[in-house]
Amino acid sequence: MKETLRLGRMAGVSVGLHWSVLVIVALVTVSLAGGRFPDAHPGHSAWAYWSLGLLAALVLLASLLAHELAHAVVARRNGVDVDGITLWMLGGVARLRTEAATPGAELRIAAVGPLTSAVAGGVFTGLALWLDSLRVSGLVVEAVAWLAGINIVLAVFNSVPAAPLDGGRLLRAFLWHRTGDRLRATRGAAAAGRMLGWFMIVTGFAAMVLAGDPSGLWPALIGWFLISTATAEERQAQLRGVLDDMPVSRVMTRDPVTVPATESLAALLAEGAFGRYRHSAFPVLAPDGTASGLVTVRLVNRAPIHARSTTTVAEVMRPLAEVITVAPDDLIVDLLPRLEASKDRRALVLDGGRLVGFVSLADITRVLSWLTASAPHHP
């Protein structure tokens, strides 16, 4: 899930929003301000209903963020690298760069999410009771009680033993501990996730068709998400089995063709497809020989034709901070999801800050095709 707006860093983790967050904020606000609040506490102004509805929607997002931050913090404490967190329409996603090394670490990372939501639900429940005892406006108490209920629902739903829910990761940790086979455990959790997904799709559409309830679209949509994500997780686990801890150094292009940061775009293009520049992306080197970024044909094409003789590669390249970098000993299976989610689908291989190689998604795909073809097939 690619972020649309970056919010910054919290607890050392990059946090961003996907544009679809606006959908859930709007739906929650409308459902509360246009339905639940006026029905439960009539007589207030429209401004009160809508402002409180919007505030409740934003606090819900904060609760989702707390849930994902808990995953990220515990993951880092258990030796798992975290790329960041993205909030979107159906909740949040903590992007883990690597996997837990043991079933115990997997259990701790998975369990902390529902626990955080449950604690939030308890805190909001206590706050609602306290506000009610102080005779605070019933409308405010209603909003806090709703937040308590939704957090408890999130805790319970996320505990269902089906991937990619937290309960599915708990199931995988249990199966992994029982069998000692992480791939087999992942397949079991993924199968449970697909079963739950199809159940939600069928019941959701049944509610819409048979009962005329348009809200059935939500479980159907969540069911589709569960199926697609559980299948993707199973595929990722299978890739780990095929790649078998293969390092990046096995597939990278060593001593790749590089481009000086000070070279003009006109000079770069003058080499053409028949010169030494036969590719569509190149590492860029600073005058001192260190890697400074990545330049692609697409980035060059953004520069006006009349300015290419005076525009340098450094002015259009993607800076090193925005480029995926790996070490030669890093695992391909950990790099693969990062490349798939990146803009350029390429990574620079650095050894102590020195450029030693270049790897693209196509490089890994070719290797994977050969390994898959040569791997023994089990019935």
Residue numbers annotated as active site: 68
Q: How many CB atoms lie within 10 A of CB 298?
A: 12
Helix or strand or coil: residue 135? coil
For the record, the structure tokens of 209 come out as 């068709």
CA pair distance 348, 359, nearest whole angstrom: 7
Which residues have CB under 8 Å from 154's CB, separation 6+?
A: 63, 64, 67, 91, 114, 117, 121
CA-based diameter of the chain, in Å?
Answer: 80
Contact residues for 110 (Cβ-Cβ < 8 A; gap 6+):
71, 166, 167, 169, 170, 173
Alpha-carbon distance of 369 to 87, in angstroms, equals: 34
**Other residues' Cβ atoms within 10 Å of the Cβ of residue 262:** 13
The one-letter amino acid code at 86 reads T
How do 13-17 and 82-88 pair as beta strands? parallel
Distance (Å, whole) CA 25 – CA 248: 41
In terms of Cβ atoms closer than 10 Å to its own Cβ (0-12, 13-18, 19+), residue 76 is middle
Contacts of 203 (CB under 8 A, 6+ apart): 216, 219
Q: Are 19 and 6 in contact (CB under 8 A)?
A: no
Q: Residues near 67 by Cβ (< 8 Å), separated by ≥ 6?
A: 91, 92, 113, 116, 117, 120, 154, 158
